[in-house]
């Protein structure tokens, strides 16, 4: 039985902790904050409750596997999962609206043809065929297997772009796919919205980012009753049942090293804890920014994904019941100086004081290094709410109050203002996250900043990979 210290109580770190505890190891989690969940947070006020991180779950099989491998109760015995249908409503700049069904290729093609004109759905469907090829080429190496020792293959873009002609430049970005292959500004905006949702600028995101809409439209979008915070609650309780110990309000200040190997941690206040392995769920850049690990200035410093984006979230408390024709998720595309926003309106009694009120969130992707004072962020939030008004009738008249969360709030809760995205091939490898194996033996990385990257399901996969390395050793080759 090994002694294992886990730094941070995010979803990826807790997924690793639960798996390691089931394998017979003694696991203690040290969390600098007062609660678990990391980016999967909750804001509550006056009977309203809001998810402040992700609002929908994709690839729920990751958490089904976690619960199967760590206990008798299946995931659906611990939380209630519901497919969101339609998966999303899109409101384009010209006023066109389209509802896209959940996990139905034929339904999506038909909906786009009806809303955007004949041929639009066919072009989108043909694009998804090419996106599937990119997905098939990268699914195992970027999601299910350890990061390859040779970074060259995943640094190449697997998307089979249409031939651009002898006199045209090759298609290398997602924005170019929209312009050259979709040939409709609304379809291009639809594609761009997927990139922005995951924190990537379509103008610079590699063509391989085509896997993002493919993943959602193929495997579906799911809501957890009570909000995504309920999933964090369930994973935390699973850890507790497996006798994982949690110590909150206790930052880790240093990783202890002896004979070239991690041997424990130093806690705030000077206390030390010995360990055979240390699993860090903290943002990888913060580890050397805050000197938790004394990385050298040489090539052994771990790589990390650099997409440079964060999120602004506006929580809105509304009077009046949610209208019958409302949908769970609406993407309102940029128009008139207002940003592209995602409006989430879960029809969930657990999030509102009664049936005569509604709780909704509005999110937008922004640069993580944007400098705005409080008034500046309030002004930006006002533009977001104006955009949301195109999706929510009489929004201004119904508004009871709002709470704005900025990149600085993201930094406070997670340790970094940036929100990491899932691993993407291409782009010369700059969108690959840190390897789960750190340069220091005995120190491992789990969570959104490590392979296979950000997002609830990807973080859960990282926990599975780290546990596999520790339990099975160097011969571990990933999920089967």
pLDDT greater than 90 at residue 444: yes
Structure tokens at 193: 């919205």
Nearest to 467 by CA among 1, 21, 9, 140: 21
Going from the C-alpha of 428 to that of each of 160, 162, 431, 455, the distances in angstroms are 17, 20, 8, 22
Query: In whole numbers, what is the pLDDT of the chain averaged over residues?
Result: 93
pLDDT in tens, 237-275: 999 999 999 999 999 999 999 999 999 999 998 899 999
pLDDT in tens, 146-169: 998 887 888 899 999 887 655 467
Mean pLDDT across 120-143: 95
DSSP 8-state secondary structure symbol assigned to residue 40? -
Q: Over the Cα atoms of the chain, what is R_g?
A: 22
pLDDT greater than 70 at residue 84: yes
- The beta-strand segments (E) located in 24-160 are 26-30, 42-45, 48-51, 81-83, 88-91, 97-100
pLDDT greater than 90 at residue 64: yes
Strand-pair partners of 357: 319
Q: How many Cα atoms are found within 13 Å in the side-chain-facing hemisphere of 122?
A: 3
The alpha carbon of 145 is separated from its chain's Cα centroid by a whole number of angstroms, namely: 19
Structure tokens at 475: 């011969």
DSSP 8-state secondary structure symbol assigned to residue 28? E
Specify whether the backbone of 24 is left (phi greater than 0), alpha (psi in -120 to 50) or beta. Answer: left
Going from the C-alpha of 321 to that of each of 91, 128, 237, 314, 332, the distances in angstroms are 22, 37, 33, 19, 21
């Amino acid at each position: 039985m090994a002694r294992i210290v886990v730094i941070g109580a995010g979803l990826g770190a807790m997924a690793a902790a639960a798996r390691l505890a089931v394998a017979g190891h003694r696991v203690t989690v040290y969390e600098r904050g007062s609660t678990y969940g990391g980016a999967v947070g909750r804001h509550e006020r006056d009977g309203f409750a809001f998810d402040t991180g992700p609002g929908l779950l994709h690839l729920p099989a990751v958490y089904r596997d976690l619960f199967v491998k760590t206990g008798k109760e299946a995931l659906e015995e611990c939380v209630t999962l519901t497919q969101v249908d339609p998966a999303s409503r899109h409101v384009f700049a010209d006023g066109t609206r389209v509802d896209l069904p959940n996990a139905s290729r034929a339904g999506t093609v038909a909906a786009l043809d009806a809303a955007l004109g004949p041929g639009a759905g066919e072009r989108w469907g043909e694009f998804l065929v090419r996106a599937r090829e990119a997905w098939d080429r990268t699914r195992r190496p970027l999601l299910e297997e350890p990061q390859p020792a040779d970074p060259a293959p995943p640094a190449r873009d697997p998307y089979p772009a249409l031939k651009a002609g002898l006199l045209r430049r090759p298609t290398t970005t997602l924005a170019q796919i929209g312009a050259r292959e979709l040939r409709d500004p609304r379809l291009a905006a639809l594609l761009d919205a997927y990139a922005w949702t995951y924190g990537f600028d379509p103008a610079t995101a590699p063509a391989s980012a085509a896997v993002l809409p493919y993943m959602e439209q193929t495997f579906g979008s799911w809501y957890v009753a009570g909000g995504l915070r309920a999933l964090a609650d369930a994973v935390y309780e699973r850890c507790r049942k497996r006798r994982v110990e949690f110590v909150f309000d206790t930052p880790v200040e240093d990783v202890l090293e002896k004979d070239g190997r991690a041997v424990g941690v130093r806690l705030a206040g000077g206390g030390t804890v010995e360990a055979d392995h240390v699993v860090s769920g903290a943002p990888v850049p913060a580890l050397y920014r805050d000197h938790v690990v004394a990385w050298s200035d040489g090539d052994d410093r771990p790589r990390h994904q650099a997409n440079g984006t964060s999120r602004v979230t506006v929580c809105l408390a509304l009077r009046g019941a949610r209208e019958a024709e409302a949908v769970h998720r609406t993407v309102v595309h940029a128009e008139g100086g207002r940003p592209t926003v995602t409006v989430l309106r879960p029809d969930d009694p657990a999030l509102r004081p009664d049936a005569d009120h509604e709780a909704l969130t509005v999110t937008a992707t922004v640069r993580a290094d944007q400098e705005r004072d409080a008034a500046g962020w309030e002004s930006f939030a006002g533009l977001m709410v104006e955009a949301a008004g195109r999706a929510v009738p009489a929004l201004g008249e119904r508004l009871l109050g709002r709470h704005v969360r900025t990149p600085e709030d993201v930094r406070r809760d997670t340790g970094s203002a940036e929100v990491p995205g899932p691993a993407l091939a291409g782009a010369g490898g700059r969108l690959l996250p840190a390897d789960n194996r750190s340069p220091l033996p005995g120190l491992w990385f789990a969570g959104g900043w490590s392979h296979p990257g950000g997002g609830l399901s990807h973080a859960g996969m990282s926990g599975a990979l780290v546990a596999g390395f520790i339990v099975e050793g160097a011969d571990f080759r990933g999920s089967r």
